[in-house]
Amino acid sequence: MPIPPDTEFARQTESEWQHLRIQASELLYPWAPAYRSMIEAAYAEPALRSLYPFTSHWALRFSTTTRPALLKPTGPCLTADSDGTYGVGTGFLTPDLGLFATPHEAVAQAVRHLSPAPR
């Protein structure tokens, strides 16, 4: 019997979150602790955890579709810089919604800028 789409989406989303968390914990770059903190803060937020996460150039994006059909990002882009700041932007790698001292502040800003009905 096929898995209902919402259940399959939830399974794939959780699997991708776990992959990102493991990957972030194993990075040895100087900016890795900030990146890891950003991933963990986003995962701790239910509104973001319910979206499919994906990264490009170490920026965290979200989608209402899963791989391989990542059609359109949903909501803001989160970034972590080696100087310990966290950016939130409407576009890719442009923190036009602000720079923050903690990943939790950046995640809160991202949640404020999510569409009312992300799925």
User: How big is the CA angle at 74 (ends 68 and 75), to the nearest 5 degrees?
Assistant: 150
* Residue at 75 is within a domain: yes
User: What is the pLDDT at residue 1?
Assistant: 43
Question: For the chain, what is the domain count?
Answer: 1
* Residue at 80 is within a domain: yes
* Residue at 83 is within a domain: yes
Predicted confidence (pLDDT) at residue 19 exceeds the cutoff of 80 = yes
User: What is the pLDDT at residue 101?
Assistant: 97
* Residue at 56 is within a domain: yes
Task: Please answer whether residues 69 and 3 qualify as being in contact, where contact means their C-beta atoms are separated by less than 8 angstroms.
Answer: no
- The 10s digit of each residue's pLDDT in 37-60 is 999 999 999 999 999 999 988 899
Angle between helices 5-26 and 32-44 (to 10 degrees): 150
Question: CA of 1: how far to CAs of 4, 10, 15, in Å?
Answer: 9, 17, 21
* Residue at 60 is within a domain: yes
* Residue at 119 is within a domain: no
